[in-house]
Amino acid sequence: MTSNNNTTTTTTDSSSASKKTPKKTNLLDPNSIKHLLDETVTEIVTSRGYKEDVRLSNVKLLIGSIIIIIALIAQFYPKKFPQNKDVLIGCIILYIIFNILLQVIIHTKEKNAILFTHPPAGSFKSTGLVVSSKLPKFSDMYTLSISSSDTKSICAGKPVQLTKSVTQWFTKDGILAEGLFWKDVNGLINKYTGESNKSK
C-alpha cells in the first residue's frame, strides 16, 4: 500500500509540476542553476508533508542581528575616543566571538544543507530530513543528498544520494524540465523512506 501511495503521489506531483509556469535560468551561471534546483527541491520535499524546520535559520538571524547591534554601538556610541576606548574594545571582542560562533554553526551544522524539516505531521515512525546539495565549480554534476535530522534515532533512515548532470533537467534555453526533476527527487525521497521502513 505504501508503495502504491508513493507512486500515486509522484505521478500527481510530476503532472502538476508540468502545468506550472516554466522555470528558467541562465545556464552560464552555476549559482543561478543551483539556486533554481535547490528552490524546486524544497518545494518537492515540503509537498510530501515535510514541514520546514527554521530553528537553525532563526538562530543564525539572531546572531546576525546581535553582530549588527554591536557594530552600531561601536559606531554611534556617544563618547569619542579615547573616552569610548573600553566600549570599543568590548565591541571588537564581542564582534569577533559572535562571528566565530556564526561560522562554526555554518560549517558544522549547516554545511551544504538547503533544507531542514520536521517529521511528517502525525508520523511516529520517521524523523525530520536534512536535504543537502552540491554543484561544484566548473562542473555540471549536481548532487542531492537526503539524511535524517536525528541520526541517533531508531527511526532514522540510511542516507541516500543522487548525482546527475544538470543537462538532464534543462532545455538548451535554460527551462527546467520539472516533470523529470520532480520524478528524480521524488524517487530519491521514496528510496530514503524505503530504507527507513526496512529498518523497522
Integer angstrom CA distances of residue 148 from 113, 128, 157: 12, 6, 6
pTM for the whole structure: 0.73
- Give the C-alpha separation, 106 to 14, whole Å: 33
* Claim to verify: residue 64 and residue 162 sit in the same structural domain: no
- Of 96, 114, 132, the one marking the end of a domain is 114
* Claim to verify: residue 125 and residue 183 sit in the same structural domain: yes
Q: Coil, helix or strand for 128?
A: coil
* Claim to verify: residue 62 and residue 92 sit in the same structural domain: yes
Strand 141-148 relative to strand 160-165, pairing: antiparallel
Q: Which domain holds residue 88?
A: 54-114
pLDDT tens-digit readout, 104-160? 988 888 788 999 998 887 766 678 899 999 999 889 999 999 998 876 766 677 899
pLDDT tens-digit readout, 34-76? 999 999 999 999 998 899 998 888 999 999 999 999 999 988 8
Most distant CA pair in the chain, distance: 74
* Claim to verify: residue 133 and residue 184 sit in the same structural domain: yes
